[in-house]
């Protein structure tokens, strides 16, 4: 690796990754990816719930907060490609991936790329509030912003406050619409089957077929798969944060630190 490529890798890490509580010698790392319109700060409080030697890395998408001047990503795949490069300096320890809503799709794409690469694959994948890629059927037509906004309101994909407060709307809506457009354009006709374990989470306030939707994630791994529902809506992970993090830690403890392990 040349000096220039090394520099660009670390620059990418600085742009994309936030470490609320840096750890000098972590045993493992938990990489958390936010929902559409979300930010790395959504996971700031998680760091205090983790053991000292589990380092939390929160992903910051472009087009918001300290990356407001950057253009938003155009696709889920574009984000995943950038994150694989950004995570390279942190691959010296086992990586677990957690993603909520859009973040779940991105986390899956990152996991698939890591397993297909020359380095270690992820130690485990946690997805929340999203369909498995092979069950995800976005509309074929390109939707305009008005239609995307209406769909976002109806689906509960984001906090209603975003639409109710003009200043917040002006600040957040461009990134939200860009993220939702990226999700709606996502296609995975033949998704890669992973080797790492997968756990799928969701809120209980959903349709009757949510258990089947969650269970379908198990079709995408040759390792262990599980699912769990928590009381709440699409954003259950905010009021149920303590329970969710505890569940993740329990499963990480069972899986150990092997990059790939069939349980």
Residues with catalytic function: 101, 234
CA nearest 95: which of 116, 119, 73, 77? 119
User: Which residues touch 219 (CB under 8 Å, ≥6 apart)?
Assistant: 132, 134, 193
- Own/partner contacts of 204-207, CB < 8 Å, gap of 24 or more, are 204/229, 204/230, 204/231, 204/232, 204/236, 205/232, 205/233, 205/234, 205/236, 206/233, 206/234
CA angle 90, 122, 125 (to 5 degrees): 120
Name the CA radius of gyration of the chain, rounded.
17
3-class SS of residue 97: strand
């Amino acid at each position: 690796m040349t000096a220039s490529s090394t520099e660009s890798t670390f620059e990418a890490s600085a742009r994309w990754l936030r470490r609320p509580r840096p750890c000098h010698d972590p045993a493992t790392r938990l990489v958390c990816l936010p929902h559409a319109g979300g930010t790395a700060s959504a996971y700031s409080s998680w760091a205090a719930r983790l053991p000292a030697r589990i380092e939390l890395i929160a992903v910051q998408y472009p087009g918001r907060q300290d990356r407001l001047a950057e253009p938003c990503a155009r696709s889920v795949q574009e984000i995943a490609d950038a994150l694989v490069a950004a995570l390279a300096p942190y691959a010296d320890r086992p990586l677990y991936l957690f993603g909520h809503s859009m973040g779940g799709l991105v986390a899956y794409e990152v996991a698939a790329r890591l397993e297909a690469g020359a380095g270690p694959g992820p130690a485990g994948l946690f997805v929340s509030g999203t369909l498995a890629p092979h069950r995800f059927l976005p509309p074929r037509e390109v939707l305009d912003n008005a239609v995307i906004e209406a769909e976002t309101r109806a689906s509960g994909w984001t906090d209603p406050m975003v639409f109710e407060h003009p200043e917040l709307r002006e600040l957040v809506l461009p990134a939200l619409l860009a993220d939702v457009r990226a999700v709606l354009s996502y296609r995975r006709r033949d998704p890669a089957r992973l080797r790492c374990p997968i756990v799928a989470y969701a809120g209980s306030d959903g349709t009757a077929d949510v258990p089947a939707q969650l269970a379908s994630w198990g079709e995408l791994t040759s390792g262990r798969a599980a699912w769990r529902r928590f009381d709440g809506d699409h954003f259950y992970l905010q009021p149920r944060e303590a329970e969710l993090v505890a569940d993740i830690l329990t499963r990480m403890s069972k899986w150990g630190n092997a990059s790939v392990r069939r349980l």
